Structures are given as C-alpha cells and as structure tokens.
Structure 1
C-alpha cells in the first residue's frame, strides 16, 4: 500500500455518451491513432456538478476524478483522463456532462508491473535511484485512481547523498501506455550542509536512456529530466496530443482572472515565448528578479499564463508548461525531511531562512532558529516583491502533482523569509509594512498563498488546513487593523516607507503597489475558499474597505473628489503627515479625496471631465494597466461606487486606445465579468 494517499475515493464512470454541458475541451492530435491516452486538469463553475453527482464525457473511455469541491459541495477542480481515436491529425472536442455512473475497476499497481516498466535516475558520482519489480509496490503516494488512468508518485534518495532525491510521477493508462515525469531535487528544510550538486544527470526508462545532461543543481533547486520539446517520457510511443481548454469557461470558473485582451497568432509576443526546455533554464523569467521596471512575469498571472487564456494559439500550452518547469531554478524548494512534503507552518513557528539560497529580503528569528547555511553557487535571486505565480496555471491545465507542489513551495518560502514575530509565528501574517514584503510583496505573497489553498486537494487536510489557516489569519489581522477600528478612510494599507523625504508634511505611497494588494485580495475572494463563516465575512468587509483606494482615485469632478483622469499616478499622497499613526488608526488622514488629489498633483480638482492621461497611457503595461485588476474585482464584488468609477474610466473618449494595447500585452487586461 502507498505510504501517502491524496487520491479520491474509488471512481465510477459512465460508458454511454452523456448529455453535454457547457463544459468542454479539445485534444489536438499530431497524427492519426487509435485509443490515444490523455490527461488534463479541469476547473468547474460552482454548482455545475452538484454534490453527489458524477461528471462524465461524451466519449466512452473517460474518467473525471475530483480533487477539490466548492463550499456547496459541487466539483471545483478535477483531473480528467481518457483514451480517444483520431482518423487524421487535428482537434477533437470532448464534452463533459452529468450522468448516472457505473462502477468500474481501477487500474492497479499489479497492472503497472505487468507492463514490465523499469526506471532509473542517475547523478554521476553521487549515485542513482532505480525502480523495477517490487519497487513499484511501494509508491510514496497514490495520486489518481481510475479505470482509464491511475497514477502514483515515487521517490528514492540518490545513492547515499543526504540531499539529492529522485522523483517520478507515473501515469498508467488502460491498454498499458505508461507516461513518466522524472525530476531531481536538492532541497531539504533542515538537513545540514546544503550545497550544489554538479553531475551528469540521466533518466532511463524501459532500459533505454531518454535523457542525459551535465548541470550544476544548486541548493534548494530542482528540475524535471526532460529536454527540447518533450514534456514527459512514454514507455512506448508518445501519442503527441495537445489539450486546449475552453478559455471562456475556464475564466468563468473563477480560479483565474477574466481577461479583456485577445492575443492574435501574429502578435510579436509569440516570437519570444519559450517553447522548449533545458534543465534550470531562465525561460521567460527575468534575468534579475526584483529589477526596477516592467517585466511580463509580474501580475496576478504572468504573461505566458495570461496568453493561454487570451488566445487560441497552440503554442500557448507549451509556454505555460515550459515556464512552470523553469521555476525549478530558484532556491525556494524547502521540503520537510520529516514528512517529505512542503512544510507545515505550525511545525516551525520560529524557523526563518538564513538567506543563503537566493531569497531577497529575509528576516530574523526571535529564537535564533534558521535554516542551515548553504555553500556553493547561490541560486538566481527570488524576490517576493516581484515574484510571479509559478506552477498554478500549469497545474490547472495538467493536474500534475509536480506543479501543485511548485505552488506550495512558493507559498511556504514566503512564510520562511519573514521575521517570526512579524508574521505572528505560525500564523504566517504577511505585513504590508514589513521590509521583507513591502506592499507589493505582501500582495503577491497573498496571491500565492491563496493559490496554494485553492489547489491543495481537499483530502490533503494537513497542508490544506495550514494554508487556509494562514489566509484566515491574514484576513483577521487586516480586518482588525482597518475595519474593526477606524483607520485610513481612503483604503490605503500601511506601506513600508514614505516615497518622499520627511519634512514635506505628506506621506506618499506607490499607487500601483496598493492596486496590486487590492487585486490580490479581490482574486482570493473570487476563489471562494472554505474559510470560516466569520473569516469569509471579514474578507469581504476588508476587501470593500481596501477597494476604496482605487474607487476613490476614479472619482468625479466635484471638489471633494479625486479626478479619474489622473488615477494612474506613480505615487499618491495617502496622509497629510510624514508620520501617520496606522497602529492606532488616528492618522491624521485627509478629510476627503479632493484633499488627497490636491496633495498629490499640486492642484485642486479642475472639475473638467475628459481623456485619461499620464501614467504612460495608453500602454497596456502602464500604471493604467496596473490598476485594471483592482477596479475589475471591486466591480465584480459589487463594492459601493465601483461600477460608477469603472464607467467613468471606460467612458473616456480615449479608453479604446488602452483596450487596443491590451490586445498585444494582455497580462493586466483583467475585466469584471459582470460589467
């Protein structure tokens, strides 16, 4: 029996074609073939597949294994697998529906062994990890159980090395096809003497070497052992299928934002999108994470994930997967050697990163408890203030365990980098005024924490509970600071520092950082995570308060308002004092938005409506682009005044210029679904 089980209960399947719902996806074949296997991840709209119902397909050999449910019990996310035939190269649409399911026998470990599979990961002089025969009887975890596909996770130490571990995700399909994703990892949490591991790494499947490359695996990094256009290895022939989700449906399911931009197949974007993989490559990530200025990796989702949602180009799929693999180059992978999973916050209330793994802005431990100091080459910089969403979209598209853990590793490393007293120990509070975060760092770390809570399977109660508890602790802190007591009436959370020098009698903050924070909480609210009833209420109330910071900046022409035409400033005055009191909430604060406008621009509201201006308008990556997710979620969650503010912006005569630019760079083009 497996040591860990995070799979769903025994699965049932309908063998007759089902009534087709609005949910569907396509599978595109590179060539004709019979009974070709495939697996995708699939998000479902709330209520689409009610509790107690089964999702089935309009092809006979298809299974849908739920991993997460909405609070009402309906299916939220599932892993869909099946086999289908193609008479010629091209796409096939597969519909999903609700039907009466019949019991079928799931593929077993005995079926896996019957294929004669053997596999080995080599690491030069460090040794190897190999699987054959009875080794397959003891997986680390059963991931999927079904009649058309079952999968298991395997792990073994490499030789006698204390840090190197070889991992496999093995998918067995009906008919005997086997798909394997191998990876090598160098990232334990508290094992002494972490360092780089320079070797020639290899992967052998079924007695044939499928991969070999020499590279230096730095501390707390990992890489899949594939190269070129291959995204995994097959024991037999690769079926060469590319899935494409219903993009409108996926955005309607609310696990990702809804995008206005539509990227054409002739856009210059595609010429730079990574399509192949080399271990530890940079991909489309920045050469220096944290460098000032725009980069396409920044946003609720990075540009390569947004491009998948905003286009129909098949190249987008490879771009998502390859870049998710490329995230392994960062030293963020701190696996708890006691559980062999990403850490649980409650197990390490005082542990803080020692700062030797490429993490920028690490804090301090009140108990002097730090991760072991690493030696050797330092991994590329990971800066939480600029970090992208990693692995999340790839997991939604593929259902791969590897990508789920990538999201979890990112969420846990932000916990570890913060000073234990500031994060409130195991609560994992992400302070906007902490130097380890700043406003934008707290925003993006909250986004990542919410994503981890969203996709960790419901059956993984330990880790999922940790992420949800931390998110609720953040909600409670911010609600207590800004809603339960009077505080800045304009909706600005406390920044780390004043953007102007003391002595001018005004406190300036980056407006766009506050917009990132607003957007991250709006996005998390959209996911409808299973917080307590009190936690959900407080999250809605805090978001409504926070959304004032964008609604107010899109104000009207009255003297007490902030003129919408100038909403996209670099910095905005948030208090008429160099030292406003945020802890007690006493300020002093501006009496109205008109005062904030005058303090920001140097002139009172002119009272003249007109074109949007400043902030590098109409570039889609400008400050006008940066504020779109914040106002979109304010409208979507029906915050008072949001729709009027949004209409002032979109009613400007030059608004179409910004929309046009979004069709070339859609990453910031988040729109409200209800307007």
Structure 2
C-alpha cells in the first residue's frame, strides 16, 4: 500500500504596519463616501525619502508640499472619501508603509464635465464668471491626484484696476465639487488704491450662495462666506470636521510644544469666534498695538494653542474663521507683475506709503513708495504686536488662501521697514529700528520663518526670497554678537531706553524673551539654509539664550537670582546708551552686578519662591519667558536645563503652571526628544 504525504507549508501572518499618527473625521449628517481634505505635518525622518504614507483609510491621497533637509516628508495635503455615521467620530491611522499612487489624477476636463458654473459679483464694478472652457486654464494647479485635485482661478472684476475675484476649486472622485471664493483689493504699485464698496455676491451652479454689502478697504481681501460653513459645495455639504493628532502635531516641531490640558469648561473656549462674516474682527484685538496682554500675541495665537491643548471642537472653527478674518488687515500687497506676494529682490528700495493702514512705516532713500491710498481705512496693522496669521490654519487645512496669508504677512514686514535699515533687498529685521522695536523684530522673524516653512518646495521663487532674507538676518546677528566680543548677557540692542535720564540703559526683558523664543522656534522649523548658515544660527541662539538663562541664576554673588527673573524692564548697561553694534558697551561685569542694578540689593544667597512679574498670572512676564527658556533647554544650550530646573523647582511653580490650563498661549515647554 502506497503512502501519501503532503508537502509541509507555513502560514505567515503579516502584522499591520506600525502607525505613527492618527486623524479623525466626524459629520453631523453622516453618509457614504463623504469627501474631505486636511493638512498633515510629519516629524523629520518619519516618512523617509523613497517611502510613502499609508493609512487604515483605503484610497487616502497624500500630496507632499514640503520635505525636511534629510529628504523625509515634512508637510502634505491629505484627501479622500470616508463613510461615517452621523455625529460619530471615526479615527484613522497613518504609517510609512504606503505605495505610490498609480491611478490617473483628476484633471480639468473632469471638472469641466461637471458643468460647473461660478460667478463673483461686485455691484456696479462688474462680475467675474467661470464656466465651460474657463476651467481649462487655472492660474495654478494646487493639488493633483486621483482622490482630489485642486486649482486656483482668478479674474479681474469688470474693468476695475484693483478688484480681483479668486477661487480655489476642489474636485473629488465621485464628482463632488468644493469652492472657496474670495475678493481681493490689493495691488503693489497700481495707482489709486482705495476702498471698493458694493454688494458682493457668489453664485455656484446657478444658485446664489452669498450676498452682502461690503466696504472693502484697500489692500484687504475677504472670503465670500457667511455663517458656520467653511466653504461652498456644488451639492450637499458633507459637513466633515477633522481632528488632528495634536500630540503628534506638536512633536512635528512645526508648532510649539505646550504643557497645558485645557478642559471644556475653560472660559477661554466660550469666547472663541464660531462663525464668519466678511471683514469681521473675530478674536483679534480692537486696536493692534494696544498695551497689555492679548490672546493674539505669541508664537501662535491663543485660539491655535487652544486647538492643540483641548479636545473641545470649538477651537478648530476659531482657527479657520480667524484665518479668514485676517483678510481685514491692509497687508495684501500683491505684485501685479507676478500675481503673487512680492519678491524682496525685485523691490530693494520700495517702502509702504504713509497712507497705508500700517503703523510705523519707514522711508525710502530713493523716494520709492507704494501709491498713496485713500478711502475707508482698514484696521491698523502694527508689526510689534502682529499675530501669526494663516499659518496654523494652513497646517490644518492645506488651503492655498491660508498659505498666501502667511506670505503676505512676511512681505508686509519687509515693505514697511526703511530700505536702508532692512539693508535693501536683504530683508533685515533690526531690533533697534524705529519701524520694528525689539518685539517687532522678534515677531517679524517668527513670521518670516513660518512663511519659509509654509511655502511649498516647488514655489522656488518666493521660497528662495524668504530663505535669503532669513540667512541675511542670521549673518547680521551672528557677525554683530558672536563673531566679535559683545555683552555676555544675550541682549540685542534695544530700540529705546526705558529709564532715560537715570544714567543706565534699561530694556524690557519680555521683549528680549520674545526675540529669543522666535529664534529658537525658527531652529525647530529646520529652515532650508546652507550648512554654514545653520551653524551660525545655532551659535547666535546659544548666545541670545543667555538673556533668559542668566536671569534664572543661582544663589551666588555673581549670579542673578532666579526668583526675580520676570521684570517689566531691567538695566542692561551701566550707561545711558551702550555700544551694542560695536560690542564695546560698556557692560556690567557679571549677572550679579546686573542683579544689584535691577534690585538695588545684592543676591541674598537664599533660594525662594517666584515673585514679581504679575505672578502667578499665566499671561504675565513669567509666562512671557517660558518659550525662550523652553527652546534654550530643547536646543541644548549650556546652563539652560539647570536654569529651568531652578524655576520649576520653586515652591510656588504649580500656581503658575495651573494658569496655562486656562490660558495656554505662553505655556510652552521643552520637548523630551
């Protein structure tokens, strides 16, 4: 009898790819194959060069916009379709084990096949309309893929020389169409800028979706929306609300790392804007430039910090609607020769006109200014108090509108400064320029770094301009404070003396802290600078960080006692006007001497609680210094960890820290990695 046998075999069960981040989607109505798009930041090295993002959601499209210096993915736009139950959040994972897309991208022929028609009206100024073959020639293609393609369109409204209608049109697989329309009144050098008052309307698919009387000031723009919708849809709005993996977003380093956990009962949440109307104030200040705390001020505004530190749904809407509302400021100087924000190298002597709705504009050595403006004025934009606008909204949504808002803010910082102070097209932001102030330079450098980060890699013209400007600032500050002897305290030259007539020069330490934080944050964004420039950037930051590390000193006579680190101002030199640029001072001999000058007593040699600086107000001067010392620790500056430990070991530290669970904007902490 023959014996039979079977060949042995092994069943291999492949484990699912390890995920590194999640995102969730919810819809008030629910449904099958609901279209969505969101932005997604990635940690450096998470998705290496040659690898692709995978997901637990089948068919997820990933459109890269930026890469880290090592070639790994930095930022991308995610699109797809999801089946959701009403009011039930569904979570999806992201991994680095995906495959390259093989399906053909949706093209303008597919958009045209939807029979889409759209029109923007502006009363007697005229109408800009699109239909049929108009869709074949977009201004630019923003996203291209099989799940979603997006195009930017623009047309002048009637024969007006300034008024332009813009659309971002998204076409999804399955035929859904989403449109974001806006109107802009802001060219760089076209004569006669003035307000454009009219009844503005938007019609989509033959149905009027928006109509309102708007008095649009010069160099402003407005999205044509009203209410709680984030955009217009040709058919039913799927009403999808995304939520990001907030811990991972902070770990990406594209936003600061916050220590807070904000409960849904926090009063700050109830004050957030929850809808949009054209040119609304939203959560911005009544008057940019007013003294005291305001939630718009910080590396990012408080409503964006609330999104990162709360599980509540309200901050997401506030980020979007405040991002749209930034159009109310007269900062939109679009170059009519390129139809993009201006390039510094093209306008080395051009300065904003004194009739602009911008505070503290400088002068031009060649007399070259933007054309004189008239008519209804926009709310004043003040560089020393200007918030980050559009940046976080772009990270969350991937919208072209928000990306350009960051660019407009950065180019306005250049345009308002005297041409010789900014070193013409180099784009320097000096801490002692009358058009900046120390904090003005800090926030301008923050905005410049954000613009460089947000500008897509393939936008080589503007990316190159922002990179060159940041490199020029690094070279200037390094050559002034590091390459030659200067003060040991990390103070850049102040724009004024807070104690004029007393025989000493005093500076607002919180403004120096803003500057330190802005540079530390810029390093986190890993700007695309030459290796030698990056070395200088880190060296300058190590020097600059001494201004906060030294104030968190110990109990010896040569140190500044940490208990008193948070002052409104303090002496920085023993003369009325020290030589900062030349580095010759004269300077105090030690932090101990500086402590004596500030406190009128020697370091008592005894540790104690934190005091002064409006303690324990989380938005006071103790709050203001947190981002500066956090980045000093994170970037490994010698002495930073010891200084930080002194502060957080104080007996009353928890009183201060508790406040960030109500108002988190200054509660930045070092990352563990």
- Aligned counterpart for 1:543 among listed residues 541, 544, 547: 541
Shift of 1:32: 2.2
In structure 1, distance between residues paired with 2:672 and 2:129: 54
Q: How far apart, in 2, do the equivalents of 1:456 and 1:17 lie? A: 37
* Superposition map of 1:186-335 within 5 A: 186-335=185-334
Q: Deviations over 1:245-287 (max 9, x none)?
A: 0000000000000001111111111221001001000000001
Q: Distance in 2 between matches of 1:617 and 1:321?
A: 33
* CA distance, structure 1, for counterparts of residue 611 and residue 496 of structure 2: 27
The equivalent of 2:28 in structure 1 is: 30
Q: Is the 8 A contact 1:228 1:276 kept in 2?
A: yes
Shift of residue 356 of structure 1? 1.5
CA distance in 2, matches of 1:21, 1:366: 56
Consecutive aligned runs of 4 or more in structure 1 exceeding 4 Å deviation: none
| Distance of 1:340 and 1:38 partners within structure 2 | 28
Q: Distance in 2 between matches of 1:101 and 1:349?
A: 43
For 2:15 and 2:75, the matched residues in 1 are separated by 22
Alpha-carbon separation, structure 2, partners of 1:409 and 1:211 = 26
Which range is displaced more, 104-113 or 391-400?
104-113
Q: Note the C-alpha offset of 1:70.
A: 0.2
Structure 2: how far apart are the matches of 1:582 and 1:631?
A: 23
Structure 1 counterpart of 2:120: 121
CA distance in 1, matches of 2:382, 2:81: 42
**Structure 1: distance between partners of 2:422 and 2:15:** 52
Shift of 1:26: 0.6
Query: Aligned match of 1:569 in 562, 567, 570?
Result: 567
1:611 equivalenced with 2:620 (yes/no)? no
Give ranges in structure 2 of 5+ residues lacking alignment: 1-13
In the superposition, relative to structure 1, how do residues 631 and 548 fare at CA in structure 2: closer, same or farther (>3 Å)?
same
- 8 Å CA contact retained: 1:635, 1:674: no
Residue number in structure 2 paired with 1:494: 493
- Please state if 1:363 is matched with 2:362: yes
1:32 and 1:451 mapped to 2: Cα distance? Answer: 36
Q: For 1:581 and 1:101, how far apart are their aligned partners in 2?
A: 58
Structure 2 partner of 1:64: 62
Cα pair distance change 1:574/1:309, threshold 3 Å: same
SS at match of 1:415: helix
Q: CA deviation at 1:214?
A: 0.1
What secondary structure is seen at the aligned counterpart in 2 of 1:442?
A: helix
TM-score when normalising by structure 1: 0.97
Seen in structure 2, the aligned counterparts of structure 1 residues 280 and 88 have a Cα distance that, compared at 3 Å, is: closer
Indicate the structure (1 or 2) with the bigger Cα radius of gyration: 2
Size of the alignment, in residue pairs?
659
Q: Equivalent residue for 1:131?
A: 130
Task: Name 1:3's counterpart in structure 2.
Answer: none
| Contact 1:31–1:90 (CA under 8 A) maintained in structure 2 | no
Distance verdict in 2 for CA 1:306–1:184, change over 3 Å: same
> Is contact 1:18–1:96 with CA below 8 Å preserved after alignment?
no
Matches within 5 A, 1:383-422: 383-422=382-421
Bigger shift: 101-110 or 549-558?
101-110
Alpha-carbon shift at residue 61 of structure 1 (Å) = 2.0
Residue 531 of structure 1 corresponds to: 529
State TM-score, norm by structure 2: 0.97
Kept in 2: contact 1:150–1:172 (CA 8 A) = yes
**8 Å CA contact retained: 1:20, 1:58:** no
How far did 1:17 drift? Answer: 12
Distance 1:505 1:666, change over 3 A: same
Gaps of 5+ in 1: 1-15
Q: Contact 2:26–2:86 (CA<8 Å) still a contact in 1?
A: no
- Aligned in 2, Cα 1:549/1:625: closer, same or farther, shift over 3 Å? same
Deviates more, 1:87-96 or 1:329-338: 87-96
Contact 1:61 1:84 in 2 (8 A): no
- Once the two structures are overlaid, the 10-residue window that deviates more, 384-393 or 575-584, is 575-584
Hey, what's the Cα distance between the residues in 1 that align with 2:335 and 2:19? 42
Give 1:33 deviation, angstroms: 0.1
For residues 33-71 of structure 1, give each alpha carbon's deviation from its aligned partner in whole angstroms, at most 9, with x where no partner exists: 000000000000000000111112212121001000000
The secondary structure found in structure 2 opposite 1:23 is: strand
Shift of 1:29: 1.5
Structure 1 residues 459-474: aligned runs within 5 Å: 459-474=458-473
